[in-house]
Structure 1
Amino acid sequence: MLLAGVSALNMSVFLPSLPAMTQAFETEYGVMQLSISLYLACTAALQMVIGPMSDRYGRRPIVLATLVIFALASLGCYLSTSIEMFLTFRMISAAVAVGMVMSRTVVRDVVPMAEAASMIGYVTMGMSLVPMAAPTLGGFIDEFFGWRAIFLFTFALGAAMTLLCWVDQGETNQEKSVSFTEQFADYPELFTSLRFWGYALAAAFASGAFFAFLGGSPYVASVVYELPPTTTRYLFGVPAIGYFVGNMISGRYSVSIGVNHMVLIGAALLVFGMAASLVVTAIGYGSAFTFFSFCTFVGLGNGMVLPNATAGLLSVRPHLAGTASGVGGAIMIGGGAALAALAGALLEQGHGSYPLQWVMLLSTIASLVCILLVMRRDP
């Protein structure tokens, strides 16, 4: 839970400080926003490496090494004196993405698929307030201590997690690959599985709506609806309510209802919420309240889709669980980076909140189509 939580926190904890950081580094908002999109791109690329390495060398050494790198990179962000220096250390801090991969893989190492979906649901429920409520925490730290203190906080968190994992985390990979050559020989078995790609893309498009929200909602809040930062930091946490409920439902019902049907229900809720948000805005009742309220469905749907789709893709080829987790995570984060950048670019063209709402709606529809194709393939 803590590994996944720290990874998620580092992604969004500094969002309310973007305007202040833009001024401090004397740059443009579009350049400052690279700290989101480039970070997500590095996270995606890193997950492609982390999974195979953990299959080869084990989960524990990979976790410890990357947590040390994350802590030191956070300290570099704190000490940065230019935007180039900050972005460099920010990209290096993406090493903490190990938490997103390993937290899922470790669960799958020790329990079967249906139980893994339930357990991953409880794990992500425990950290559900982190990725979406982190901006609220970052806003408070910025208000009282300045934006640099946010990265001092992540440094301390990384150091504490390194110590905890050194003392407490055991090795769960009991069937390490003999060599990378042996792994690569098995890759076609995973990559030619249509069910793997179906689960991976269902998760990617569902989370894509959330990443588009991360990339576009600061603009919508501050420019479209002219909200002050003190109000915005609370609104960023609204999807966390739905995410918590969705994870709780996954933890309670994934075993009895089944992985596929849980993903289907979650994706349908995502489509409903985003379609309703667009319709309400189109008929003239759009406001900051309605926009962020409907974004609760982003959390609810993802809380049901992600743990179940993840358990599905990890179980297609259990002996390649680490690789599957890494590739699936890379697809999810890489797609999220693209959608976050797209949302930001479209919003700057004007037209209020419509561009962001359309991006989120189309992404959720794609997620629904993917799980329907998986269910058609299963028999």
Structure 2
Amino acid sequence: MTRAFPTHLDKTLVITLSAICAITPFAIDSYLPAMPVMAESMNVDISMLSVTVSLYVLGLAVGQLIGGPLSDRKGRRPVMVLGLAIFALASVLLTTSSSIEMLWLWRAVQAVGGGIALVGVPATIRDNANGAEAAKLFSLVALITMIAPSIAPSVGTLILSLADWRAIFYFLALTAVLVIGLAVAFIPSEAASVKKATGGHRGLGFIGVLKERRALGYMIAQAFAYSVMMIFLANASMIYMGFFGVSAEQFSMLFAANIATLIAMNRLNTFLLSKFEPATLLKGFLLMQFFGGLTLLASSLIAPERLLFVVPGFVIAIGANGGIMANASACYLKYFGNNAGTASAVLGAVQCTVGASVSAIAAFISMGMVQPVIIVMLVSSTIALMGAMLGGSGSGLEISEELV
């Protein structure tokens, strides 16, 4: 049978896992308003700063590949703490960057630390729940985590009004230290330890995970749906502040509209999980994202210079991820248990690599224009929908039966 988190751990464990997840959106979004200032201080084009978003996501992929198998062997909590410590140190070192190359280097190290910590979150959830119950827990963690990207640009703008851009990275370092305290205090050893793998599936490696063909469609769906969000994040500053000429304050408000929709879809998903299977809801939210992409394409063809025509499409396409991510993760991880850390690492690495690559392609071909970005978003949402349609088909390692 499926096990839930022990009652006395519910709130503290969920809050702690959410705080670990929140590190990533803070690391990505809090310095977006500072990009023009950072580019000026380093005497580089702002596009060189946009690279740091894709670089961070690639670093997350590497970190998860390191942290996933390590957490299967050593336990969730110590690996999470290690990753957060690396993140905090790299955040401080980022403030010493005097060139774009040094910024890229320490940004990559920061991301690896974040990935090592992050991969333990879905693994911990899968250690304790499966199916619709796991999807609800993913939704709850995601809901709390969504507070971070909704306020991160505003926090960055506030810090920038009081100090220079380096203060943003000091803030990230302090945040990581505080989250380390939460992890040590509220993730008990029994929740952080890993069940010993038994039978022939002990030590399932990366190749073994990829052989579970029933899960591959859901991996594709999550990776390309995530790419839609990454394309927006990597190009939001260029689109809103560069192309449409909005201020940093207006940018924060427009950004918050996407987060508000993410939260609304997250809550809707949690409600619907009591009536529908995660796989069914996943397809529905992916259709919503596809519709958002079509809306964006239409707006770019009809009124390419009208901001109000573009915003609704972004809100729909990005907001759909509020229901996509939790269901895709639950559908994927139901095929893994003892090796949830390794499986989470593969999912996270593929998601981050695809997201970073696709967003970098969009940034490269955009040439300061919005329509190329929109086309790449629409293609990504189409691939994600096709992946979900394929999810659950084929054969694979029958490992889920022994794990629940």
User: TM-score interval w.r.t. the shorter chain?
Assistant: over 0.9
1:219 Cα deviation (Å)? 1.0
1:250 Cα deviation (Å)? 2.3
Q: TM-score w.r.t. structure 2 length?
A: 0.87
1:113 maps to 2:131: yes
1:252 Cα deviation (Å)? 2.2
Residues 46-94 of structure 1 show CA distances to partners (whole Å, capped at 9, x for unaligned) of: 2112111111111011011111111111111123233222222111111
**Which amino acid counterpart does residue 79 of structure 2 have in structure 1?**
I
Aligned to 2:115: 97
Pick from 299, 303, 322 the counterpart of residue 322 of structure 2: 303
Aligned to 1:150: 168
Pick from 175, 180, 190 the counterpart of residue 195 of structure 2: 175
Aligned to 2:181: 163
Aligned to 1:269: 288
Indicate the SS of the match to 1:183.
Answer: coil
**Which amino acid counterpart does residue 62 of structure 1 have in structure 2?**
V
- Aligned partners of 2:361, 2:155: CA distance in 1, in Å? 26
Aligned to 2:383: 366
Aligned to 1:215: 234
Pick from 16, 33, 36 the counterpart of residue 19 of structure 1: 36
1:136 maps to 2:128: no
**Which amino acid counterpart does residue 239 of structure 1 have in structure 2?**
N
Indicate the SS of the match to 1:257.
Answer: coil
Pick from 23, 33, 54 the counterpart of residue 6 of structure 1: 23
- Aligned partners of 2:324, 2:123: CA distance in 1, in Å? 17
Indicate the SS of the match to 1:226.
Answer: coil
1:354 maps to 2:374: no
**Which amino acid counterpart does residue 119 of structure 2 have in structure 1?**
V
Q: How many residues align?
A: 373
**Which amino acid counterpart does residue 58 of structure 2 have in structure 1?**
A
- Aligned partners of 1:163, 1:193: CA distance in 2, in Å? 37
Provide closer, same or farther for how the CA distance between residues 48 and 187 of structure 1 changes in structure 2, counting only shifts above 3 A: closer
Structure with greater helix share of residues: 1
- Aligned partners of 1:285, 1:32: CA distance in 2, in Å? 25
Q: Is the 8 A contact 2:362 2:373 kept in 1?
A: yes
1:246 Cα deviation (Å)? 1.6
Provide closer, same or farther for how the CA distance between residues 187 and 232 of structure 1 changes in structure 2, counting only shifts above 3 A: closer
- Aligned partners of 1:214, 1:134: CA distance in 2, in Å? 12
**Which amino acid counterpart does residue 58 of structure 1 have in structure 2?**
G
Structure 1 vs Structure 2 CA RMSD: 2.0
Aligned to 1:57: 74
1:21-100 matches, cutoff 5 A: 21-94=38-111, 95-100=113-118
- Aligned partners of 1:175, 1:375: CA distance in 2, in Å? 25
1:340 Cα deviation (Å)? 1.6
Larger deviation, residues 70-79 vs 82-91: 82-91
- Aligned partners of 1:285, 1:42: CA distance in 2, in Å? 34
1:229 Cα deviation (Å)? 2.4
Provide closer, same or farther for how the CA distance between residues 187 and 359 of structure 1 changes in structure 2, counting only shifts above 3 A: closer
1:242-257 matches, cutoff 5 A: 242-257=261-276
Which consecutive unaligned segments of at least 5 residues does structure 2 have? 1-17, 396-404
Q: Is the 8 A contact 1:200 1:332 kept in 2?
A: yes
**Which amino acid counterpart does residue 115 of structure 1 have in structure 2?**
E
Pick from 173, 197, 209 the counterpart of residue 216 of structure 2: 197
Aligned to 2:331: 312
1:99 Cα deviation (Å)? 4.1
Aligned to 2:346: 327
1:357 Cα deviation (Å)? 0.7
**Which amino acid counterpart does residue 215 of structure 1 have in structure 2?**
A
Which consecutive unaligned segments of at least 5 residues does structure 1 have? none
Indicate the SS of the match to 2:391.
Answer: helix
Q: Is the 8 A contact 1:13 1:136 kept in 2?
A: yes
- Aligned partners of 1:365, 1:22: CA distance in 2, in Å? 34
Aligned to 2:9: none
1:242 Cα deviation (Å)? 1.4
1:126 maps to 2:144: yes
Residues 13-57 of structure 1 show CA distances to partners (whole Å, capped at 9, x for unaligned) of: 111111110111122223222211111111112211211111111
Q: Is the 8 A contact 2:127 2:338 kept in 1?
A: no
1:289 Cα deviation (Å)? 2.3
Residues 230-272 of structure 1 show CA distances to partners (whole Å, capped at 9, x for unaligned) of: 3222222221011101211222222431110111011000000
Indicate the SS of the match to 1:256.
Answer: coil
- Aligned partners of 1:132, 1:355: CA distance in 2, in Å? 26
Provide closer, same or farther for how the CA distance between residues 136 and 288 of structure 1 changes in structure 2, counting only shifts above 3 A: farther
Q: Is the 8 A contact 1:280 1:286 kept in 2?
A: no
Q: Is the 8 A contact 2:218 2:387 kept in 1?
A: yes
- Aligned partners of 1:69, 1:259: CA distance in 2, in Å? 35
Provide closer, same or farther for how the CA distance between residues 75 and 316 of structure 1 changes in structure 2, counting only shifts above 3 A: same
1:188 Cα deviation (Å)? 4.5
**Which amino acid counterpart does residue 77 of structure 2 have in structure 1?**
R
Q: Is the 8 A contact 2:81 2:117 kept in 1?
A: no
Residues 264-308 of structure 1 show CA distances to partners (whole Å, capped at 9, x for unaligned) of: 011000000110121123122652222222211133311111011
